[in-house]
Amino acid sequence: MPVAGIPALGAVQPSGYADVSSLMQAGGAGGAGGVADVTGVAGAPTASGATFGASMVGAVEGLQQLQGEAKTLAVKAVTGDLTDIHDATIAATRAQVTLELVSAVRNKAVDAFTEIMRMQA
């Protein structure tokens, strides 16, 4: 339930978050769409598997962009060239949250792979 005055999560797409959104739509971040395709046939690559891989690459590239932006703003804040410190804080938080999301998705993918390998043994 959205709080009055705060837009819904999908309504606002800050720069760098488009890649993470595509990852979530591909079923990689908690969606059930990717799970059914991965476990469908053991050893057979699927179209959504390729989509998931491409989404992960895009998410990592977006993460690198956000981290670079946060680093640039942090340097500007330290040198006194930044007029609004909130920009640096927001950029650092965006980079941190995106890193946590990409790490969680990666960990779930590794766990799923390990479970599949354990079932085949």
- The domain spans of the chain are 18-37+45-120
Are 105 and 29 in contact, with CB atoms under 8 Å apart?
A: yes
| Secondary structure class of 83 (helix, strand, coil) | coil
- CA 107, 100, 64: angle at the middle one, nearest 5? 105
Question: What's the mean pLDDT when you consider all of the chain?
Answer: 74
Whether 89 has a pLDDT exceeding 90, the answer reads yes
pTM for the model: 0.58
In terms of C-beta distances under 8 Å and separation of at least 24 residues, what long-range contacts does 77-85 make, across chains too?
Answer: none
Average the pLDDT over 86-112 and give the result.
95
Whether 85 has a pLDDT exceeding 60, the answer reads yes
Residue-level pLDDT at 48: 67
| Secondary structure class of 109 (helix, strand, coil) | helix
Single-letter residue type at 24: M
Measured between alpha carbons, how far is 105 from 107 in angstroms, rounded to an integer?
A: 5
Are 47 and 41 in contact, with CB atoms under 8 Å apart?
A: no
Residue-level pLDDT at 78: 94
pLDDT band for position 103 (cuts 50, 70, 90): very high
Residue-level pLDDT at 46: 58
